[in-house]
Amino acid sequence: MDINLLAVLPVGLEDVGVLELSTLGAKHVRKSKGRISCKVDLAGFYRLHLQARLPFRFLREIKEFTCTGKDSLYHSIQNSCDWEKWLDPSKTFRVNVSGGSIELNHSHFTALTVKNAVVDLQQRIWGERSAINLKSPDLCIHLHIFSGGASLSFDTSSRSLHRRGYREAMGIAPLKENLAAGLIKLSNWDDSLTLFDPLCGSGTFLIEAVSMALSIPPGLFRSFLFEKWPDFDRELWKLESTFAKEHCLLNKTLPPIIGCEKNIEIAKQAEYNISLAGLENYINIKNVDFRDFQLPKIPGVIICNPPYGQRLGNPKDLEIIYRQLGNYLKNNASGWDLWLLSGNSQLSNFLGMKCSRRFPITNGGIDCRWLHYKIH
Ligand SMILES: C[S@@+](CC[C@H](N)C(=O)[O-])C[C@H]1O[C@@H](n2cnc3c(N)ncnc32)[C@H](O)[C@@H]1O
């Protein structure tokens, strides 16, 4: 039986997200802002969780129903699925709410209604109820409210999927791993080309690029809530996990993958993250100012997110970094492609270069552009 699945991902990555999920076998793939809906069979469901790099989360849709207010929500929740199967009182749960309608416009209050509907039903069936666990529940109930109705789904993980497990050390303003992966996909970097991040911070771009090039499944080393679901098929999960593991290209030769980070502590953090990801043979971190780094002779791809002022640095210092980067690239990187994540168009003007393509991207709520420059 097909599962209706919703992937939530960074705004701006929808097109590459559709491609990723379709390639992994999802059907009826449709995008909307920051969301992709699709249908998968159980094997495909496991494959997506093992191999998709771009989503923050996956929601398994259980039931969509009309809903006219608090009372109708309460009854619809109780009738929306076989709660006896999904949530016996020994299991803990949490409720998340998104969206809203005229009748249900207070998400905390809506979440309480859902919680009450579930625990009241449990009391009726078992004479006892589940405890709430906000941090690591056994079942994570998600309710999306829209005008006239609601959709009940179960989150397949209680923690965001951008956390791959390799990044214990964070640097300053690190990019989320799924966003970094999506930006690399948008750049069309292919693993025959040298990749250089002149401002690499904790190394997220480089780690994601190499993981992709080696087909290391991002979901292999983490747990998911669906492992506690009543229809969890351990054999099938094992089969898909083994398949994903066997298709890792761990002996593949890659071109130079290099990052510069001038802050010694952050450079060490990047190296630590790289070793946690098991990629120390592939990524070379230089603890230098990028201006002192001599680029390899054969042109490749430069990828970076310089600081842009919302959280980092004062405007004059930031202007200097962009000017220095622009000068360095114009003098040293002829023939290279540059991809730069900009959260401030005034700052990117200080590069003194003309971009050839731009993709709107949202990074942590900030409206950004993923800019492509051909360096002459
Ligand atoms: C916004 S952070 C990059 C974050 C990174 N993408 C990540 O995911 O962790 C910018 C980094 O550039 C470093 N940096 C600033 N100026 C530099 C320079 N001239 N050379 C090398 N690194 C520099 C800063 O120390 C900071 O760690």
How high is the pLDDT of residue 122? 98
How high is the pLDDT of residue 174? 85
Mean pLDDT of 249-275: 96
The residues with which 58 forms a beta bridge, in sequence order, are 7
Instruction: Print burial letters for 41-51: b (CB count within 10 Å at least 16), e (below 16).
Output: ebebbbbbbbb
Predicted confidence (pLDDT) at residue 165 exceeds the cutoff of 70: yes
| Second CATH level (architecture) for the domain 3-155 | 2-Layer Sandwich (3.30)
- The confidence band for 167, taking pLDDT boundaries of 50, 70 and 90, is confident
pLDDT tens figures, 14-43: 999 999 999 999 999 999 999 999 999 999
CA distance 274 to 207: 7
Q: Is the CB of 76 under 6 A from ligand 1?
A: no
| Second CATH level (architecture) for the domain 177-217+225-374 | 3-Layer(aba) Sandwich (3.40)
CA distance 201 to 199: 6
Q: Is the CB of 343 under 6 A from ligand 1?
A: no
CA distance 374 to 333: 10
CA distance 212 to 228: 29
- The confidence band for 171, taking pLDDT boundaries of 50, 70 and 90, is low
174 CA from centroid of ligand 1 (Å):
9
116 CA from centroid of ligand 1 (Å):
48
How high is the pLDDT of residue 164? 82
Find out whether 43 and 86 touch, Cβ atoms under 8 Å: no
Closest residue by CA, ligand 1 atom 13: 199
Single pTM value for the model:
0.95
Q: To test ligand 1's pocket by mutation, which of 175, 187, 200, 317 has the most ligand atoms within 8 angstroms of CB? A: 200
Ligand 1, atom nearest to 171 Cα? 9
Tell me the chain's radius of gyration from C-alpha atoms: 23
DSSP alpha helices (H): ranges in the chain? Answer: 14-23, 42-51, 70-79, 83-86, 107-126, 177-187, 204-213, 234-246, 264-276, 315-332, 345-349
Q: Which of 90, 88, 86, 78 is nearest to 60 (CA)?
A: 86
Q: In what order do the strands lie in the sheet with 139-146?
A: 27-32, 35-40, 3-8, 57-66, 149-155, 139-146, 93-99
**Per-domain residue ranges for the chain?**
3-155, 177-217+225-374
Instruction: Read off the tokens for 74.
Output: 């309460």
pLDDT tens figures, 56-106: 999 999 999 999 999 999 999 999 999 999 999 999 999 999 999 999 999
Q: Is the CB of 262 under 6 A from ligand 1?
A: yes
The residues with which 374 forms a beta bridge, in sequence order, are 337
Instruction: Print burial letters for 332-343: b (CB count within 10 Å at least 16), e (below 16).
Output: ebeebbbbbbbb
pLDDT tens figures, 305-362: 998 865 556 778 899 999 999 999 999 999 999 999 999 989 999 999 999 999 999 9
323 CA from centroid of ligand 1 (Å):
15
